[in-house]
Amino acid sequence: MRICYLLLLLFNPGWLSAQRYDVVIQEIFADPSPPVGLPSSEWIELRNQSRAPVLLSGWRLSDLSSQSAPFPNVTLLPDSILIVCPSSALSSLSAFGRCLGITGFPSLDNGGETILLKNAGEQIIHALEYSVDWHTTELKKAGGWSLEMIDPDHPGSFQINWGSATHPAGGTPGKTNSIDRTWIDLDPHQMNNAYAIDSTRLLILLDEALDSAAIEQPALYELSDERRITEARCLPPLFDRIELRTDWPLKKEKIYTLHCRQLKDLRGNQTIGKVTTRIGLPSEPDTADICLNELLFDPPTGGTDYVELLNIGKKIIDLSKLYLSARTPTGILANINPIKDKPRYFFPQDYLVLTSDSKALERHYFVQQPGWVIHTEALPSLPDASGNLVILNGQGKEVEEINYSADWHFPLLRSKTGVALERIDPKGKTQD
């Protein structure tokens, strides 16, 4: 046996030096309940995408807050599969294929989180920020079904390359994925977001992993107002974001234009021409900066409430520092929550629509600018007859508040359901 291993090492030096994406996470079973046909335990599935055996000794599986014990001396042959699970689930999952039970298997959040596979040298081999929204049906979001990768040759493509298992058991541990098929990615990647970390560092987020070596060239980026980009870095763990450093600090209340060109993904696809976005430094909003412009509190059947905001000031506002709340009958603010958990800019003279279900909104109304619709779980309950909504800044100051009533509608309407209240004058009093 030792001679065989020595021969493998001699003819396959990559055996001990696996590179990023040589081994990929190709199936995730994060929510076993309610059971469909698989044991009630979390697990993930690994696949060796390289042409050489990979020794997993010392590798670890982790999330952003914890990591497993090191993997034992396990070898994963080319094009082979390994189920990785908690030690307690080893006996129940071994019947489905080759299985490795590990101590400290990170708990997989049902709604989604970041999971990382690292080798013994702490190098990230594969990482994913999965989400319950990657499931293809509402029923499968409720649990009992795994998330499967469509084509493991595209490990840097995220939601577009994943979907719910279709196997009657709810997943395919130890076997080829039930939704496995060849997928040809010819589309250039898209920019999801951009914001300033501080006055000299900017962050660009894209929708898939990038070719690190190809995009870490400052000459690929241009910033308006004669600012120069001096450094570009592709950031782990997902390698879907680029940190840029400027040669001079940005100014407050000034909108800059950032141009990016020839940004390559892992398959060599690159952006066509220049990708342009706005960026700048956010400021704390005050009472004259935000207007509550439209309100739907009695949605049609199958619809959803929404709130439209208008930035009437000169400030760039970060939605992760803007909070929604409502007053109790005694006047106390309850359930204060940020609109977004990550930075997202609201620029002067822009409109934004806040809702908990953007798809339901689009089913019932014409949405001219889908990019201005913001999914948020912070929107409080908006009763049909009357209610209250309060917007606060990062210091807890109330920057906008409304006590609305269905009586504000045109009195001769046959039905008020599905009809929004719109503000007539953005600069007029909210309660008028």
Asked if 279 and 194 count as a contact pair (C-beta separation under 8 A), the reply is: yes
Residue 11 confidence (pLDDT): 47
CATH code assigned at 229: 2.60.40.1220
Asked if 245 and 231 count as a contact pair (C-beta separation under 8 A), the reply is: yes
Residue 184 confidence (pLDDT): 80
> How far, in Å, CA of 300 to CA of 355, rounded?
14
Asked if 124 and 237 count as a contact pair (C-beta separation under 8 A), the reply is: yes
Residues 297 and 411 in one domain: yes
> How far, in Å, CA of 220 to CA of 225, rounded?
17
Residue 188 confidence (pLDDT): 66
Mean pLDDT of the chain: 92
Strands 351-355 and 373-375: parallel
Residues 98 and 223 in one domain: no
Please give the full DSSP string across 28-64, using - where no structure is assigned: EE----S-SSS-SS-EEEEEE-SSS-EE-TT-EEE-S
> How far, in Å, CA of 396 to CA of 377, rounded?
19
Range name among 13-27, 55-69, 290-304 with the lowest pLDDT average: 13-27
- The closest alpha carbon to 62, from 111, 124, 17, belongs to 124
pLDDT category at 191 given cuts 50, 70, 90 is confident
Residues 201 and 154 in one domain: no
> How far, in Å, CA of 21 to CA of 431, rounded?
57
Over residues 288-311, the mean pLDDT reads 96
Residues 135 and 99 in one domain: yes
User: Is residue 147 in a domain?
Assistant: yes
Residues 306 and 220 in one domain: no
Q: Which residues of 46-63 are buried (b: 16+ CB within 10 A; e: fewer)?
A: bbbbbebbbbbeebbbbe
User: Is residue 140 in a domain?
Assistant: yes
Q: What share of the chain is helix, strand, coil (3-state, %, to 5)?
A: 15, 35, 50
Residue 50 confidence (pLDDT): 96
Over residues 264-291, the mean pLDDT reads 87
CATH code assigned at 151: 2.60.40.1260
Residues 147 and 125 in one domain: yes
Side-chain half-sphere of 13: how many Cα atoms within 13 Å? Answer: 0
User: Is residue 51 in a domain?
Assistant: yes
Alpha carbon of residue 378 to chain centroid: 17
Between 322 and 189, the higher pLDDT residue: 322
Which run of H or E residues covers position 363?
helix 358-364
Residue 16 confidence (pLDDT): 54
Strand order in the sheet with 191-198: 191-198, 201-206, 241-246, 229-235
User: Is residue 177 in a domain?
Assistant: no
Between 214 and 70, the higher pLDDT residue: 70
Overall number of domains in the chain: 3
Q: Characterise 79 by phi-psi region: left (phi > 0), alpha (psi -120 to 50), beta (else).
A: left
Asked if 61 and 68 count as a contact pair (C-beta separation under 8 A), the reply is: yes
Residues 275 and 301 in one domain: no
User: Is residue 359 in a domain?
Assistant: yes
Asked if 430 and 400 count as a contact pair (C-beta separation under 8 A), the reply is: yes
Assess whether pLDDT exceeds 50 at residue 10. no
Assess whether pLDDT exceeds 60 at residue 2. no
Assess whether pLDDT exceeds 70 at residue 186. no
Range name among 265-269, 321-325, 391-395 with the lowest pLDDT average: 265-269
Please give the full DSSP string across 193-216, using - where no structure is assigned: EEEEEETTEEEEEESB-B-HHHH-
CA dihedral sign of residues 371, 374, 375, 381: negative
Assess whether pLDDT exceeds 60 at residue 15. no
Residues 7 and 152 in one domain: yes
Domain containing 247 equals 191-279
Over residues 384-390, the mean pLDDT reads 96
User: Is residue 323 in a domain?
Assistant: yes
Annotate 157-195 with three-state secondary structure.
Answer: ECHHHEEECCCCCCCCCCCCCCCCCCCCCCCCCCEEEEE
Asked if 347 and 318 count as a contact pair (C-beta separation under 8 A), the reply is: no
> How far, in Å, CA of 181 to CA of 52, rounded?
23
> How far, in Å, CA of 264 to CA of 33, rounded?
40
pLDDT category at 228 given cuts 50, 70, 90 is very high
> How far, in Å, CA of 3 to CA of 281, rounded?
62
Over residues 182-208, the mean pLDDT reads 88
Asked if 96 and 43 count as a contact pair (C-beta separation under 8 A), the reply is: no
**Could you give phi then psi for residue 172, rounded to 5 degrees?**
-135, 60
Q: Which residues pair with 367 in a beta bridge?
A: none
- The closest alpha carbon to 337, from 375, 295, 392, belongs to 392
The share of the chain scoring above pLDDT 70, in percent, equals: 95
Asked if 239 and 126 count as a contact pair (C-beta separation under 8 A), the reply is: no
Residues 157 and 196 in one domain: no
| Residue located via tokens 């958990």 | 341
Residues 341 and 297 in one domain: yes
Nearest 5°: CA angle at 112, between 346 and 303? 60
What DSSP character marks residue 342?
A: S
Residues 141 and 198 in one domain: no
Alpha carbon of residue 272 to chain centroid: 24
